[in-house]
Amino acid sequence: MAHIPTISLIKGDGIGVDVAESAFAVMDAALLRCGAVAPKVQEIAAGAGYFAQTGLDIEPGGEEKAGEADAIFLGAIGLPSIRQEDGTEVSPHLRLRDRYQLYAGVRPIKAYPNAPQRLADPRAAGIDMIILRESTEGLFYSAAVHKRAEIIPNVEVRDIMRITRATTEKLHEFGFKLAEKRRARGKSGNLTCVDKANVFTSQAFFRQIFDETKVRYPDVNVSYNYVDAMALDLVRQPWNFDVMVMENMFGDILSDLAGGLVGGMGMASCGEIGETIGLFQPAHGSAPDIMGQDKANPLAAILSAGLMLDYIATKTQAENYEAAGALIDAAVDAGFAQNRLRPMEFGGDMGTIAVTEELIKIIGELPK
């Protein structure tokens, strides 16, 4: 009997609930259209709202349960008004990243017709690139999971940027293979190492491992950019880049900047890939100011579901899952091209439900 894929679903907080439900409705339509078997879905309670009710940020055994599936899907987690005792937000997803070593954070950035474009240059219409963010160490090593900051109360705090060979080798291998895959799909396949190797020893080490890795991929064109210059180039000439690989904090900042070039965080899909499992989520927050008002743009979550189907296809060889993921991407392209997707985030007249329903209609019209 063929393997039936399993997905752990954490809807989380705020608009996370709404966009996760939209993503799964569209995913189910794409799978049905492609003749693929529906996955088994196990829901896990987690988030700030759950913490306020129970004192726990994830249900008992939830971390272990999440990892039993082929993939994890997360809506959004965190509410600014609900904090831990140390003042930080509730963030069990950071522990999931660490527990399952989800080192490769894939952040696609793509311009769509009739969606807002912040740059006047007509070449901006062709923006299609990926920021590859290391997601388990870097400057985030001192954050919520490891609590490694050195603190002199009310006097000084020192955070640690950790770059290890083991994780960085895996990240760069992933980056070169992703560049090869992009080139096979008709993209440029250029890979840019983004760092601050001129200042920090940790970043020089990051670049050193990149150079060691590139020897095994002689057909991949590479370039280098310091992170400050990269921020400038994302505004001046983003169309000249394809895949960019970088440390955790740099990726956190630049992926939001790049998302703003193509409309906003409502289009910011994300996959976080480890050696045994992947977690997929929209990169935006929980937006409690619009929760439950049918105003959220669900497209980041929907595109993340497409990334998840492609990942599951590779991991489990599930039949027609890759085709279903590609169908979601094609439907979003067609929807914007035909001006049938007009989310409120962009000043349009369509709420969460309307965008979802229209996208399902488009999936039914497109060839398989």
pLDDT tens per residue across span 34-68: 999 999 999 999 999 999 999 999 999 999 999 99
Is the confidence at residue 317, as pLDDT, over 80? yes
Is the confidence at residue 150, as pLDDT, over 80? no
What is the structure's pLDDT at 147? Answer: 65
Residue type, 297: N
- The 10s digit of each residue's pLDDT in 322-339 is 999 999 999 999 999 999
- Domain 1-103+264-368 and domain 117-261, same fold? Reply is yes
Is the confidence at residue 173, as pLDDT, over 80? yes
Spatial strand order in the sheet of 271-273:
40-43, 6-12, 71-76, 278-280, 271-273, 104-110, 128-134, 243-246, 191-195, 222-226
CA 280 to CA 282: how far, in whole Å?
7
- The 10s digit of each residue's pLDDT in 197-245 is 999 999 999 999 999 999 999 999 999 999 999 999 999 999 999 999 9
Residue in the block written with tokens 């005792």: 85
CB atoms within 10 A of CB 53: 10
Per-residue pLDDT averaged across 78-107, rounded? 89
Is the confidence at residue 253, as pLDDT, over 90? yes
Which of 148 and 212 is assigned the larger pLDDT? 212
What is the structure's pLDDT at 262? Answer: 93
Is the confidence at residue 304, as pLDDT, over 60? yes
- The 10s digit of each residue's pLDDT in 270-291 is 999 999 999 999 999 999 999 8
What is the structure's pLDDT at 140? Answer: 85
Domain ranges of the chain: 1-103+264-368, 117-261
Question: Any idea which architecture 1-103+264-368 has in CATH?
Answer: 3-Layer(aba) Sandwich (3.40)
The three-state (H, E, C) secondary structure of 86-143, written as one string: CCCECCHHHHHHHHCCCCEEEEEEECCCCCCCCCCCHHHHHCEEEEEEECCCEHHHHC
Residues 224, 101, 297, 327, CA torsion sign: positive
The model's confidence at residue 146, banded by pLDDT at 50, 70 and 90, is low
- The 10s digit of each residue's pLDDT in 10-30 is 999 999 999 999 999 999 999
Q: What percent of the chain clears pLDDT 90, i.e. is strictly above it?
A: 85
Q: For residue 219, give both structure tokens.
A: 């057909």
What is the structure's pLDDT at 349? Answer: 96
161, 247 Cβ separation under 8 angstroms: yes
Mean pLDDT estimate for the chain: 94
**Domain 117-261, what fold?**
Isopropylmalate Dehydrogenase (3.40.718)
What is the structure's pLDDT at 351? Answer: 97
Is the confidence at residue 149, as pLDDT, over 80? no
Which of 148 and 173 is assigned the larger pLDDT? 173
Helix axes 15-33, 321-337, angle to 10 degrees: 110
What is the structure's pLDDT at 265? Answer: 87
Question: What does pTM read for this prediction?
Answer: 0.93
Is the confidence at residue 196, as pLDDT, over 60? yes
CB atoms within 10 A of CB 257: 15
